[in-house]
Amino acid sequence: MIIGAPPNPIVDFNALQIWPSWLINQNPARLIPEAKYTMIHNAVVAQCGTVVGKHDNLVDEPDKCAFDPKSLLCKGADAADCLTAPQVDFLAQEYAGPSNPSTGKVIFPGPAKGAELTMFADAEPMGVALDLFRYPAFDDANWDFKSMDWDKVLKAAEDKLGPILHVDADLTRSLVAAARCCSISAGTTPTIRSSWLTTSVR
| DSSP symbol at 179 | S
- CA 199 to chain CA centroid, Å, is 15
Q: Quote the pLDDT of residue 8.
A: 79
Distance CA 115, CA 41 (A): 7
Q: Quote the pLDDT of residue 189.
A: 53
Kindly state the helix (H) or strand (E) to which residue 194 belongs, with its residue range: helix 194-200
Q: Quote the pLDDT of residue 83.
A: 98
- List per-residue pLDDT tens for the chain, 202 residues long: 566 556 778 999 999 999 999 999 999 999 999 999 999 999 999 999 999 999 999 999 999 999 999 999 999 999 999 999 999 999 999 999 999 999 999 999 999 999 999 999 999 999 999 999 999 999 999 999 999 999 999 999 999 999 888 776 666 666 566 556 555 555 555 555 544 444 444 4
Q: Quote the pLDDT of residue 185.
A: 53
String of DSSP letters for 107-154: SS--PPTT-GGG----SS--HHHHHHIIIIIT--TT--GGG--TTHHH
| DSSP symbol at 69 | G
Distance CA 67, CA 61 (A): 12
Q: Please give the C-alpha separations between residue 172 and each of 44, 175, 180, 201, in angstroms, as whole numbers.
A: 36, 5, 11, 9
Cis-peptide into 101, omega within 30 deg: no
For β-strands 182-183 and 2-3, DSSP reports them as parallel
Which residues pair with residue 99 across a beta bridge?
106
Give the pTM.
0.84
